[in-house]
């Protein structure tokens, strides 16, 4: 293989990972927005429409934004894809554990807070595995949002309010990360 073909491969991998990452972030932003919208019954349809529009916009930007020049190619650690699989599996197991423990303890209102915390924490290793330093901000913001949700819950807010605060906040963080990855790499 020539240096030029290796460089072209690296550029393609960088673009593909960023595009996929931006799309995955946008789609999960939609999921969180719909969950958050369920906490605001009077505006749930409006939230859903806006969420679908923002997600569609993020997907379009993901395709267009990653076509431009690559300013920094990713440097992936050895066996990065195996690491990603392990992190995502641990995240999924932890989410099911949060749901089971919250329901078993009679506190289903803790589910959005717990899931947001798990999702936030899983971005810390993903930042290294995907060589996307901005995922650290995603991790920090989602983790902080989970703590805000816990404080709102401790203040006596309803389960609907918790879903709205955590769900809509998480959607905003994920969409912001999606646009950033697509436009800034």
User: What is the block-wise mean pLDDT of the chain (185 residues), using blocks of 10 residues?
Assistant: 62 87 97 95 93 96 79 84 96 98 97 98 96 95 98 96 97 97 85
Closest to 64 (Cα-Cα) out of 183, 184, 175: 183
Using CA atoms, how far residue 122 sits from 57, 119, 172, in Å, is 25, 5, 17
Token digits for 137? 């901000």
> What region does 69 belong to: left with phi over 0, alpha with psi -120 to 50, or beta?
beta
pLDDT of residue 173: 98
pLDDT of residue 156: 96
Helix axes 159-184, 111-129, angle to 10 degrees: 20
Residues contacting 159, CB < 8 A, separation 6+: 39, 108, 109
pLDDT of residue 74: 82
pLDDT of residue 2: 54
pLDDT of residue 9: 79
pLDDT of residue 75: 87
pLDDT of residue 31: 97
With vertex at residue 28, the alpha carbon angle to CA 24 and CA 29, rounded to the nearest 5 degrees, is 115
DSSP per position, 1-23: --HHHHHHHHHHHHHHHHHHHHH
């Amino acid at each position: 293989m020539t240096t030029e073909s290796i460089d072209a491969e690296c550029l393609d991998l960088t673009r593909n990972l960023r595009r996929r990452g931006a799309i995955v972030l946008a789609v999960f932003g939609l999921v969180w927005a719909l969950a958050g919208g369920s906490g605001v019954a009077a505006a749930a349809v409006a939230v859903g429409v806006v969420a679908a529009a923002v997600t569609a916009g993020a997907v379009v930007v993901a395709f267009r934004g990653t076509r431009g020049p690559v300013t920094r190619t990713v440097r992936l650690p050895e066996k990065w894809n195996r690491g990603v699989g392990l992190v995502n599996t641990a995240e999924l197991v932890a989410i099911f554990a949060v749901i089971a423990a919250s329901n078993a303890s009679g506190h289903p209102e803790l589910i959005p807070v717990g899931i947001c915390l798990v999702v936030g924490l899983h971005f810390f290793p993903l930042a290294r595995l995907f060589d996307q330093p901005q995922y650290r901000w995603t991790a920090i913001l989602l983790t902080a949002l989970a703590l805000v949700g816990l404080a709102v819950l401790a203040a006596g807010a309803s389960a609907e309010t918790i879903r709205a605060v955590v769900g809509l906040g998480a959607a905003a963080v994920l969409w912001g990360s999606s646009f950033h990855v697509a436009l800034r790499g």
